[in-house]
Amino acid sequence: MAALDEQAERLGLKPGMGIADARAMHPGIEIVEADPAADRRLLESLADWCDRYTPLVALDGADGLFLDITGCAHLFGGEKALLDDLLARFFHQGFDVRAGLASTPGAAWATARFRSPEIVEPGGEERALGPLPLAALRLEPATVSGLESVGLRNAGSVLRSPRAPLARRFGAGLMARIDQALGRIEEAISPRLPVAPLSVERHLAEPIGLMEDIERLVLLLATSLKADLERRGEGARALQLLLFRVDGMVSRIGVGTSRPLRAPDLIARLFHERLTALEDALDAGYGFDLVRLSVLAAASFDMVQTDLAGEVCGNDEDLALFADRVGARLGADVVQKPVLVASHLPERAVAAMPFAAADAAMPARAKHSPLAASERPIRLLAHPEPVEVVAAEMPEGPPARFRWRRVLYDVVRAEGPERIAPEWWREEADAPTRDYFRVEDGAGRRYWLFRRGFYGTGDTGPRWFMQGLFA
């Protein structure tokens, strides 16, 4: 058996006992098949809910949580008030929780499992651990059996024993567990989620559930957040809204921005779009009693220059805001922007990326490369299409007439060639060179053609392709 309820424990059943043995003792017991995946999901949801106390929440095995409340207890009226509030809220949600509070993770772990609820004062770890069983030191079963075989049956007897003989017989693992419990060596807790650099929150006396109330709170929180961003000289690039429901559920709603942002009204508009998109899926239940707005990513906020009329010079903020609002409503991939990538072949030199990530993804050197300033078609074909050249100036000239998609075109003007060598690190060593021409037909339509290879080389001669259309 993996776990027992209180009634099963009173009947004398033990974890690890076989079902047949348990039924032999008590035929009327009820057996429920274990579901470790569901238990894990429940534990992670409880960890989400515990973010209301501290952002430093870590999973502890299959049935426990570590909360690092350093610097957070005063927000709840002290350590005892925080512990009482946590236990009361879990009780009202239907959970039987045991908790302990100490200055070391090892002592807190032992207290939660064997002396709950209790607060161990700093320096009192050894006294608190003394009467507890050996399992309170988080030892392996083999180590516990070995200690019991030499007469050490509780944690206090181990703590009072000379260290050298224990280390020789039971190894460094036992010493590490003792030192971690007593605070002699530091034990790090790895939070399950990254800690936001900036957060503001509002505890509510009465839970809210209306979308208008949530949006009003977002604006208030964004206003509070603005002062912190200004002090750091930064703007938000990714924000997250956390809505803590009174029954323990937590909703996380995130938005991204294509430019550093700290104006409260603009942040509120982004969350308005996101909340509108999630209105049917967002279940307020009995209401939210805690709302938190966090900055997950920030960037330097550059002040913009205005002209004498008060207009922003070279402003593209309206476009960025439009892309952010559409992305918040429909998804970040809906609005995309072409960016240059590290390739000089036209079909590889441009990639479409989400608008918000486009500027960060484009290398700085690519923005000022000769390719960025050269003339390129309005429409670039996804793949070059074969062209049949009926007549061409030889050996290096442009075509005089060509057929593309079964239509014959006469060239009246041409510019070029622009020679682009193959990418030898991607292609074969003897890959042919490309010569590009900008040509115009009698109706004024302009095309971008290229010749791959040269006349007089190979058995088949060069081939022509259509790369794009200018107009």
C-alpha to C-alpha distance for 236 and 218, rounded to whole angstroms = 14
The answer to whether residue 271 scores a pLDDT higher than 70 is yes
C-alpha to C-alpha distance for 180 and 104, rounded to whole angstroms = 7
Q: Tabulate helix, strand, coil % of the chain (nearest 5).
A: 35, 30, 35
Question: Would you say 134 and 148 are in contact if contact means Cβ atoms under 8 Å apart?
Answer: yes
> How much is the average pLDDT of 37-48?
92
Closest CA to 222 of 183, 188, 186, 257: 257
> How many other CB atoms sit within 10 Å of the CB of residue 286?
11
Alpha carbon 436 to its chain's center = 44
Question: Would you say 271 and 261 are in contact if contact means Cβ atoms under 8 Å apart?
Answer: no
Helix axes 141-149, 163-170, angle to 10 degrees: 130
Q: What is the pLDDT of residue 370?
A: 47
Report cis status (omega within 30 of 0) of the bond before 354. Answer: no
Buried b (16+ CB within 10 A) or exposed e, 35-70: eeeeeeeebeebbbbbbbbbbbbbbbeeeebbbbbe
| pLDDT tens readout for residues 359-408 | 666 555 455 454 544 678 888 888 899 999 988 776 678 899 999 999 99
Closest CA to 448 of 422, 408, 411, 423: 411
Count of residues in the chain: 471
Q: What is the pLDDT of residue 82?
A: 94
Name the token pair of 384: 């070059």
pTM of the model: 0.73
Question: Would you say 82 and 76 are in contact if contact means Cβ atoms under 8 Å apart?
Answer: yes
| pLDDT tens readout for residues 446-471 | 999 999 888 766 667 789 999 999 97
C-alpha to C-alpha distance for 170 and 163, rounded to whole angstroms = 10
The answer to whether residue 123 scores a pLDDT higher than 70 is yes
Residue with the two structure tokens 């512990």 = 83
Torsion of CA 84, 89, 91, 92, to 10 degrees: 140
C-alpha to C-alpha distance for 268 and 435, rounded to whole angstroms = 52
Closest CA to 144 of 173, 180, 120: 173
Closest CA to 371 of 350, 344, 347: 344
For all residues of the chain together, what is the average pLDDT?
87
**103 burial via Cβ count (<10 Å: 0-12, 13-18, 19+):** middle
Closest CA to 261 of 295, 231, 292: 295
| pLDDT tens readout for residues 129-184 | 999 999 999 999 999 999 999 899 999 999 999 999 999 999 999 999 999 999 99
Closest CA to 383 of 345, 412, 337, 352: 345
Q: What is the pLDDT of residue 416?
A: 85
